[in-house]
Structures are given as structure tokens and as C-alpha cells.
Amino acid sequence: MLVTKVRALSLTAVAMLAFAANSVLCRLALQQEAIDAASFTVIRLLSGALALALLLGARGIPPARAGNWRSAFALFAYAAAFSFAYVSLPTGIGALLLFAAVQATMILTGLVRGERLTMSQLVGLLLAFGGFVHLLSPGLSAPPLGGALLMVGAGIAWGVYSLRGRGTRDPLAATAGNFLRTVPMAIGLAILGVGSVNIQSSGVLYAVLSGALASGSGYVVWYAALRGLSATGAATVQLSVPVIAALGGVLLLGEVVTMRLVLASVAILGGVAIVLRGR
């Protein structure tokens, strides 16, 4: 029993590091101008599709038979908006906006479908909303509005993707199939951005690491970890991702953690934690 718990905790830690690494790798590549946002998106999706197809092929399952086009479009929309948002957003703020938008999308969808909030959950939701407003309110340390809106859009797309994936019998196969279906969309994006292509070897490396390891392999590890986590535990542990991403931005990119980010993080992550615990 102890070995099983340790394994689940270890896999969870690796998965959270992988998810946070997506933000760090994308911001690192774009801050250094080692690659343009469109090319980063294309290479990330292509390398993720290849890595997952190889993993699925080892199981003898054709990835083309898994997934669906609507989920693939949501995945593509997330990846594209995510990359373009990080052209201007600091790592920690981007990760926090993404997380807040994902959770808001899933919580609001539940309310529309008839779920009801307890008083403590309502307080938590208002707290998180207040933190979100504080983060985006005008001021010297406010994030660029355009980048912020793009990241919120990325979070909504990822929330939709997550909702569509609920109850999937084989999440690895579905993820591989969806990644594969984003390939023609990625090629279309590459054609549209052909006039502003900027690709250096380091940028390609960051994009491949984001797609094949942080995204593709990260999802595989996460699905393995879920077997040892409760639903509430799985939801709550993801609160750590924006924090890890912010630390990565400080250590690897020299970013400064502002008081605005700290207060917004406490309010948003604390509020979401209250709602999740109540569910």
C-alpha cells in the first residue's frame, strides 16, 4: 500500500513539473526570440503527435481511430493561443491566467448543467474572481491586455477540451488521436505565418521538449498517476502548476514576482481550492 502511494505521489510530482514546464519552455523560447509563436505551436503539436503515436503504436492501437475532430480543434486553439500569449506575458502570470480560465470554464459549465454551489463554494468563487480582477486591473505591474486575453482564450479552449474528455475509456488513445488530428490545423497555421518565420535550433529544441516530453509524455505520466488519486486530490494538486511555473520563470528567466501576482495567486488558487474541496 505504501509503495502504491509513493508511486502515485512520484508520478504526480513529475506530471505537475511537466505541465509547468510547458509555460517555462514556451516563454523561454519566445523571450529569447529563438522561434516565432506560430512555429513553436506547429513543432509542439507535431512532436507531441509523433511521441504519442509511437507510444500508442507500441500497444498496437492505430491512433487515427481514437479522438475526434471537435476535441482536436479545442486542443489546437489552446496550443495556438497559449504560444501567442507568451510573446508578451511573464511565465507565472500566464500560467495563473490559464489555470483560472480552465477552472472557471469547468465550474461555470457545471452550474449551467444544474450543479449548485454551497455557501463556502460561492465565497471561494467570489474570492477567485476578485483575484482575477485584481491581476488584470490597470497599473504599472498589470500584464499586457492582449496577451492576457489570449491566455484566457487558451484556458477556455483547454477547459472545453477537458470537459469533452471526461469519461473517456482510454485517455491516452484519445489524446494521441486528438494530437494527430491537429496536424493539418498546424500546417495551416504554418502557411499563414510563413511571412514571419523565425526558427533557431534552440527554439526548435524548446518546442520539441514542450510537445514530446512536457505535453505528450507528461499526459501519459498524469494518467498513470490518476489511478492512485481521488478526484478531489487530482483536481487540487493541479493548484501547484502556476506556482511551479512562476518559480521556473524566476530561476530560468530572471522574472520578478510582483506583489500583484502574489496576492492574485493567493486569491485565485485559494478560491478555486475552496470550490474544489466542496465538490
- 94-124 pLDDT, tens digit each: 999 999 998 888 888 888 888 787 888 888 8
Of residues 61 and 142, which shows the higher confidence score? 142
Residue 21, number of CB atoms within 10 A of its CB: 22
Residue 185 has pLDDT above 90, yes or no: yes
Of 92, 114, 95, 113, nearest in space to 103 by CA: 95
C-alpha–C-alpha distance, residues 241 and 13, integer Å: 10
pLDDT number for residue 248: 93
Sign of the alpha-carbon torsion through 112, 94, 222, 244: negative
C-alpha–C-alpha distance, residues 48 and 44, integer Å: 6
C-alpha–C-alpha distance, residues 82 and 105, integer Å: 16
Written as nine digits, the cell of 142 is 498589470
**pTM of the complete model:** 0.88
Written as nine digits, the cell of 222 is 498524469
Helical packing angle, 91-112 and 69-85, nearest 10°: 150
Residue range 153-179: mean pLDDT, rounded? 86
Minimum mean pLDDT range among 163-167, 230-234, 243-247: 230-234
pLDDT number for residue 64: 63
pLDDT number for residue 231: 64
Residue 228 has pLDDT above 80, yes or no: no
Minimum mean pLDDT range among 23-32, 45-54, 92-101, 268-277: 268-277
pLDDT number for residue 206: 97
Sign of the alpha-carbon torsion through 49, 55, 58, 60: negative
